[in-house]
Chain A
């Protein structure tokens, strides 16, 4: 589309303001400590997919530096998902090593206390040597968990202030069944030397695509078309804490490269395919059912970024451990190719996605490198970047409320 007239998003979301935003939230270790306490240790966070644990007895152990803990996520004998801190009730040893496992018992490697997959303490060697041991109260320390659209969420707050349904708010009913039809085909992980928000920010506006992705095929190629990419303001949805934008496709005329043509011919797996009209997508995706739509970017606060298109979705999780350090986990889901030519086509989409993600990571890492200088103390966001502003505002609401509560 052409440039939007005026600055419509600042009017629609007047509460976000229009002024500059301090760089403190990406530079200050104190600010990160407050984020960890007020946001990460109190929010619902995605820890995996139900599909990762298909059978009773399957369990996932994950060390999460963000939460300063390690978690066990298990499918119990009851078929339900249970989550626990990975710490023995006896003397605090980590019960299980990280990774995927399967079994009926979790045995502590220190003195052999054992637990079932619902966290119950079921074995204490030489139990009669203890004094009034109350087995019932000595199960693994539980962590709240709930499932939405196949995503397993956990919340390490022992008494979450809201249910997952209330936390997801407007998103809750909008994506019914969409995630079920696709399978994990590719994973990228990286230790990033950057504030977690810098990568979250890089995904939620299209302004940068004109420069950072100038030469990649993100639904257009500004280098050859000369036409700039803009978000349609009506595709920008800023919620209480989550946010979603729709990235347009087919902006400007361009010639497909020979390999791109081949990829479409044998499988059309690329997320930047404009020819997606008529596909049944749930109401939350491409909310206006715009025919010139490529994909949505949905950010589930605080640390999940989802790219959602008709033939592919990408889930990116950012796990901070310090103000300038985080871990990225990116998972790509598609329908599984049936023949080997579809596999070739899929690879085109995967390489395309990987290199666009690397371009964004490079930019975010570049910002972090400069932030230390203190030379630039404020960020300035345009109307097209309002979703980035939204992130800083939402984060700051949590941090300010926490600061105020602690000061009392």
Chain B
């Protein structure tokens, strides 16, 4: 797998790139559901204090013309958004889904990539 770089100010987050810099919304959703709570917590705790700086950086990056570094950072930030409710709202990995399991929904975002 090709190494994806992060912008220099965020290099300390490199360890999360293989698992969390994902190309599609569906992958982020399923990564949330299939991860252990401890794994999610480690990612959440590492990103939360950096999210304001990440967004300030990304604010300077036009979406139509992203460098590979900025795109990787954006992918991490999107995964953070995907999991934030686990700790900020629900206290668990998912909403109630006993009658409508997550596999039954197909998600396609305009921003999904095939890489």
Contacts and interface: CB of A to CB of B under 8 A. Distances in A.
Give the size category of A's interface with B: 35 or more
B70 A340 contact: yes
A140 to B, nearest CB: 29
Interface in B74-98: 74, 77-78, 80-82, 84-85, 88-90, 95-98
A266 to B, nearest CB: 5
A347 B81 contact: yes
Given A217-B89, A259-B84, A341-B58, A358 B105 contact: yes
Given A186-B108, A266-B59, A344 B74 contact: yes
B60 interface: yes
A102 interface: no
B108 A187 contact: yes
B74 A343 contact: yes
Contacts of B66: 340
A259 B88 contact: yes
Given A347-B81, A347-B82, A362 B100 contact: yes
A189 B104 CA distance: 8
B58 A340 contact: yes
A330 to B, nearest CB: 9
A358 B110 contact: no
B106 interface: yes
Contacts of B9: none
Given A216-B95, A262-B52, A351-B85, A188 B62 contact: no
A365 B81 contact: no
Interface string B40-60: 000000001001101110111
Contacts of B109: 185-187, 350
A372 to B, nearest CB: 13
B107 interface: yes
A154 B59 CA distance: 43
Contacts, number: 138
Nearest to A337: B63
Contacts of B52: 262, 265
Nearest to B107: A188
A359 B58 contact: no
A363 B95 CA distance: 11
Of the candidates A354, A363, A369, the one having the most CB atoms from chain B within 10 angstroms of its own CB is A354
Contact of A358 (B48, B61, B95): B95
Given A185-B111, A257-B89, A362 B63 contact: no
Given A351-B81, A366-B99, A258 B61 contact: no
Given A186-B110, A344-B54, 15 more contacts: A183-B110, A185-B110, A186-B108, A188-B105, A189-B105, A192-B100, A216-B89, A258-B51, A266-B55, A340-B58, A340-B62, A343-B58, A343-B74, A355-B85, A358-B105
17 contacts: A186-B25, A215-B90, A217-B89, A257-B85, A259-B51, A259-B85, A338-B62, A348-B84, A350-B25, A352-B85, A354-B107, A358-B95, A358-B102, A361-B100, A362-B96, A365-B99, A366-B99
